[in-house]
Chain A
Amino acid sequence: MFGLDKRDTTLFLFVVAITLLAPFLLNPFPTESALAQFNAGYPDLMQRFVIFGIFAIGFNILFGLTGYLSFGHAAFLGVGSYAAVWMFKLLSFNIIPAIALSIIVAGVFSLAIGYVCLRRSGIYFSILTLAFAQMSFAMAYSVLSNPSFNLTNGETGLQVYASDPQYLKGDGPDLTHLFGLEMNATKTLELGAWEFQFNTGFYVCAVFMIFAFYIAMRIFRSPFGLMLRAIKTNQTRLNYTGINSRPYTLAAFVISGMYAGLAGGLLAATDPLAGAERMQWTASGEVVLMTILGGAGTLLGPILGAAFIKYFENIFSKINDTVLHSWFSFMPESIDNFLVAIIHPFVGKGWHLTLGLMFMLIVIFLPGGLVDGGQRIWNRITGRSRTQNEPVADPKPAE
């Protein structure tokens, strides 16, 4: 089906089902129960799952397939967001032109940056992309927001004001919409103690993600994808075979840049503002982590990683000392206080500490990511020797 073989069709349908049923699957606990805080089935978080899923899928096309570790991918996401908000300001709140422009702008931007950065490989490439991203951040934050030429609105972030022209708006709604379908409209379904929320914005993003996943799948299975893997495995050998690998890496770079632009456009579509902090190196580091955590070079990995990180970011930063005390209240007070004191630095505002530790542990013990780990456990259970169905991270660097 869709030009995929049987195995891939199953995987694809699985992803489609999981994504579309997410409002049910992510809401396993009744609304009034104490565990309801672990629910993830509300629109804002689910939108972030799929949007960052798209971002990570795109990043994986570059890093997972070619092995080129870009540390500046957030720049494309930021550029996409700015482009989308400008479309909102100039045309109307319809998201389609905004997203189209954000993909195009991010594509052009990544073509320019990729052309320069891909002249080097290995760590040079990482540092160059990092430098470009920091430069873009500095430009967005201060350089391009002077009174005479205000493209990014600096620290405040770009947003839509009532005084903006919006030439095509007419009688259209004052919120982002898809041909009249408002993005933040939510339908609620109550089933017994459960409450499920269906949000237009989430489903629009989900459709985009499914589409993005499908394209990534086709790339993975295409001769082009095979060439990218060859670059990762042994670029020198490829060069000696007489193949110029740069057009391939550049294509991969631009594709993943466009994915990032799409994610940025969708971020703006769900919430019409764009800020420079989206381009900071921490944001670039986050998408690297998502991909590694899920499993670089696997199809499902990046989506898993993105959802995992965003979920724990959300849950961990919500936990504070009061919540901790309520968990341990059944224990004697001294033990309760002791446990809270130990856990305190890792939750709430200390979420980044947990993130950093997780980053290290994953890289040290599970370089193949969650997908690889899951496969190993599965093979251990079934007693099969490891099959090479999914190509996992190869231990050879790009250069």
Chain B
Amino acid sequence: MDAFFLQVLNGLDKGSAYALIALGLTLIFGTLGVVNFAHGALFMVGAFVAVTLQRVLNLSIVTLDPDKKDFLGNPLQIQTPYVEAWFGEAAGQAIINWSVPLAILAAIPIMLLIGYVMERGLIRHFYKRPHADQILVTFGLAIVMQEIVKAIFGANPIQTPAPDVLAGVWNLGAWLGLSLPYPSWRIVYFVFAAIIISGVFAFLQFTTFGMVVRAGMADRETVGLLGINIDRRFTLMFGVAAAVAGLAGVMYTPINPPNYHWGMDFLVLSFVVVVVGGMGSLPGAVLAGFLLGILESFASTTWATTTVPGINQIIIYLVAIIILLARPRGLMGRKGVMEE
């Protein structure tokens, strides 16, 4: 029983990442009708916003202490991060320690801006071009983004630890009589993802802006004829989608040290998630994300891998193929969206 819940939990945090990326992909596809192969790269860029912030916060003043000597006999160098010098030692260390959650604040405007620039500068010119061209140009953009990050940060994964308070283990099942020690950051990640997802849904469902966007997704032309500048709103939705992917990346860094090819690793799976969920269906993307995440985690158990070796590597693709053959529209796909 414990093992069962443990696998569900494991699946939930991987599924959260899939769901967040797939949500953004679907938003872009539903609003602008563009297949964004660079979405995984946005996730990766978000992760590196966290890395950058961590580096910036660790920028230090170097002072020489003449009383102490290092092992070469030179005066000892003491590095004091600027934040510690400015805010006092305790506050400074706390700020550095909390660099990943703080990166959320930095990531939102940065990712919105990147999304805005991307849409206005590049994607906009591809609305009337065939899907193949959209795929190709965003694919090229993904390579470029990935290589730029590689040129700046190198090819190795970079450790970005969670705050000390959240780096430990919580015993979740204590009140159920189960023993379920689980890394606290992963629980934080799941809760965070749930908040973001509900936030996006609430925004679309309960605000006038969201209502117009939903109307535009259903019938763009009519909304335009009603005198609403739908393009501008869609551009903003692209920014929101980029921000969602970026935040998913920021928060994922303590779980898995980021490296430059993260984007593509997650992209392929997220596409599968979107297709399984049903192209253009936001709830479908979220549902399929969690479903496939949990499925993958169950396939990674020792029992599964000894029965069918390597099943954890291919289970998602297998399920996707079966679903697409049995129900080509995806789990919650709407009629008429991306059909032949």
A residues contacting B by CB (< 8 A) are 63, 67, 69, 71, 116, 119-124, 126-128, 130-132, 134-135, 138-139, 141-144, 146, 235-236, 281, 285, 288, 292, 345, 350, 352-353, 355-360, 363-364, 367, 395-399
Contacts and interface: CB of A to CB of B under 8 A. Distances in A.
Interface in B9-64: 35
Contacts, number: 136
26 contacts: A69-B132, A71-B135, A116-B324, A116-B325, A119-B325, A120-B324, A120-B340, A122-B340, A123-B131, A123-B338, A124-B275, A124-B279, A124-B324, A124-B328, A126-B131, A130-B271, A138-B310, A138-B317, A139-B314, A142-B310, A235-B340, A352-B147, A356-B147, A367-B133, A397-B131, A399-B338
Contacts of A128: 275, 321, 324
A357 B144 contact: yes
A116 B140 contact: no
A134 B135 CA distance: 17
B147 to A, nearest CB: 4
B143 A355 contact: yes
Contacts of B143: 285, 352-353, 355-356, 359
A131 B132 contact: no
Given A120-B328, A143-B314, A356-B144, A345 B137 contact: no
B240 to A, nearest CB: 22
A140 B279 CA distance: 30
Contact of A123 (B135, B144, B318): B135
Contacts of B136: 69, 288, 292, 359, 363
A146 B151 contact: no
Given A120-B328, A397-B130, A139 B275 contact: no
B335 interface: no
A191 B214 CA distance: 72
A308 to B, nearest CB: 16
B313 A399 contact: no
A281 B340 contact: no
B109 interface: no
B137 A353 contact: no
A370 to B, nearest CB: 15
Contacts of B182: none
Given A127-B272, A128-B324, A139-B314, 7 more contacts: A69-B131, A122-B338, A356-B141, A360-B144, A395-B130, A398-B132, A399-B131
B147 A353 contact: yes
Contacts of A138: 310, 313-314, 317
A141 B310 CA distance: 10
Contacts of A71: 135
B320 interface: yes
Q: Which 3 A-B pairs have the closest CB atoms?
A: A143-B310, A356-B143, A359-B140
B264 interface: yes
A350 B130 contact: no
- Chain B interface size range: 35 or more
B148 interface: yes
B309 interface: yes
A138 B310 CA distance: 8
Contacts of B338: 122-124, 399
A222 to B, nearest CB: 24
Contact of A119 (B271, B275, B320, B328): B328
Most buried by A among B146, B274, B314, B320: B314
A269 B140 CA distance: 32
Interface string B290-328: 000000000000000000011101100110110011001
A138 B313 CA distance: 6
Given A69-B135, A139-B310, A359-B136, A121 B340 contact: yes
A159 B129 CA distance: 45
Interface in B226-284: 264, 268, 271-272, 274-275, 279
Contact of B151 (A126, A345, A396): A345
A353 B314 contact: no
B131 A122 contact: yes
Contacts of B321: 116, 128, 131-132
Contacts of B139: 285, 288, 359
Contacts of A352: 143, 146-147
B129 A395 contact: yes
Contacts of A235: 340
Nearest to A296: B132
Nearest to A282: B264
A396 B131 CA distance: 9
Contacts of B340: 120-122, 235-236, 399
Contacts of A396: 130
Contacts of A345: 151
A396 B143 CA distance: 26
Contacts of B144: 353, 356-357, 360
Contacts of B125: 364
A122 B34 CA distance: 12
Nearest to B135: A126
A281 B146 CA distance: 15
Contacts of A121: 340
A128 B272 CA distance: 8
Contacts of A132: 317, 321
A281 B142 CA distance: 13
A276 to B, nearest CB: 11
Contacts of A146: 309-310
A342 to B, nearest CB: 12
Nearest to B272: A131
A386 B264 CA distance: 40
A3 to B, nearest CB: 32
A168 to B, nearest CB: 32
Nearest to A351: B147
A302 B131 CA distance: 21
A121 to B, nearest CB: 6
A236 to B, nearest CB: 8
Contacts of B131: 69, 122-123, 126, 397, 399
A143 B141 contact: no
Nearest to A141: B313
Contacts of B268: 130-131, 134, 281
A281 B264 contact: yes
Contact of A364 (B137, B151, B272, B314): B137
Contact of B140 (A126, A139, A360): A360
Nearest to B308: A143
Contacts of B318: 135
B88 to A, nearest CB: 39
A134 B317 contact: yes
A351 B142 CA distance: 15
A345 B154 CA distance: 12
